[in-house]
Amino acid sequence: MKTLLPYVSTPEDLRALPAELLPGLAGEIRAFLIDKVSARGGHLGSNLGIVELTIALHRVFDSPADVIVFDTGHQAYVHKILTGRRDAFDALRCRGGLSGYPSRQESAHDHMDSSHASTALSYADGMAKARHLAGDGARAVVAVVGDGALTGGVAWEALNNLGAAGHRPVIVVLNDNGRSYAPTHGGCADHLGRMRASPGVAVFENLGLRYLGPVDGHDIPALERAMRAARELRAPVVIHCVTRKGRGYEPAERDLDEHLHAIPVTDPATGRPLTPSPKTWTHAFAEHLCALGERRPDLVAITAAMPGPTGLAAFGRRFPERMFDVGIAEQQALASAAGMAMSGLHPVVAIYATFLNRAFDQVLMDIALHRLPVTLVLDRAGITGPDGPSHHGMWDLAALALVPGMRVAAPRDVVRLCELLEEAVEHDGPTALRFPKSPASVEIPPAGSVGDVDVLSSSGQDVLLVAIGPMAEPCLSAGAMLSAAGVGLTVVDPRWVIPVSRDLRRVVAGGRLVVTVEDGLAASGAGALVRQACGPGQRVVNLGLPCEFIGQGSRSELLAEAGLTGQGIAYAIRKELDRWPL
Q: Is 160 annotated as a binding residue?
A: no
Could you state, in order of their start, the residue ranges of all structural domains in the chain? Answer: 5-267, 281-434, 449-579
| Active-site option among 80, 86, 131, 245 | 245
pLDDT in tens, the chain (582 residues): 579 999 999 999 999 999 999 999 999 999 999 999 999 999 999 999 999 999 999 999 999 999 999 998 899 999 999 999 999 999 999 999 999 999 999 999 999 987 889 999 999 999 999 999 999 878 899 999 999 899 999 999 999 999 988 778 899 999 998 876 677 878 888 888 898 888 888 999 999 999 999 999 999 999 999 999 999 999 999 999 999 998 999 888 887 667 778 888 998 988 888 888 888 999 999 999 999 999 999 999 999 999 999 999 999 999 999 999 999 999 999 999 999 999 999 999 999 999 999 999 999 999 999 999 999 999 999 999 999 999 999 999 999 999 999 999 999 999 999 999 999 999 999 999 999 999 988 899 999 999 999 999 999 989 999 999 999 999 999 999 999 999 999 999 999 999 999 999 999 998 899 999 999 999 999 999 999 999 888 999 999 999 999 999 999 999 999 999 999 999 999 999 999 887
Q: Is 216 annotated as a binding residue?
A: no
Tell me if 33 sits within 8 A of 20, measured CB to CB: no
Q: Is 287 annotated as a binding residue?
A: no
Q: Is 130 annotated as a binding residue?
A: no
| Active-site option among 224, 330, 473, 518 | 330
Check residue 186 and give its pLDDT: 85
In the residue annotation, 232 being an active-site residue is answered as no
Tell me if 54 sits within 8 A of 9, measured CB to CB: no
Q: What is the 3-state secondary structure (H, E, C) of 498-534?
A: ECCCHHHHHHHHCCCEEEEEEEEECCCCHHHHHHHHC
Nearest to 476 by CA among 488, 490, 487, 462: 490
| Active-site option among 358, 412, 416, 437 | 358
What CATH code would you report for 281-434?
Answer: 3.40.50.970
In the residue annotation, 245 being an active-site residue is answered as yes
Q: Is 191 annotated as a binding residue?
A: no
The SS3 call for residue 336 is helix
Q: Is 457 annotated as a binding residue?
A: no
> Do 5-267 and 449-579 show the same overall fold?
yes
Beta bridge partners of 262: 43
Angle made by CA atoms 495, 500, 504, in degrees to the nearest 5: 70
Q: Is 116 annotated as a binding residue?
A: yes
- Options 3.30.70.100, 3.40.50.920, 3.40.50.280, 3.30.43.10; CATH of 449-579: 3.40.50.920
Q: Is 138 annotated as a binding residue?
A: no
In the residue annotation, 129 being an active-site residue is answered as no
Tell me if 378 sits within 8 A of 306, measured CB to CB: no
* CATH superfamily of this structure's domain 5-267: Thiamin diphosphate (ThDP)-binding fold, Pyr/PP domains (3.40.50.970)
Q: Is 261 annotated as a binding residue?
A: no
Give the Å distances, CA to CA, from 392 to 381, 484, 555: 7, 35, 10
Q: Is 65 annotated as a binding residue?
A: no
Check residue 201 and give its pLDDT: 83
* pTM score: 0.94
Check residue 297 and give its pLDDT: 97
Check residue 172 and give its pLDDT: 97
| Virtual torsion, Cα 88, 94, 96, 97, nearest 10 deg | 10
Instruction: Label the pairing between strands 171-176 and 141-146.
Output: parallel
Nearest to 477 by CA among 440, 506, 438, 517: 517
Written as one string, the DSSP assignment of 107-147 is -TT-------TT-HHHHHHHHHHHHHHTT-TTS-EEEEEEG
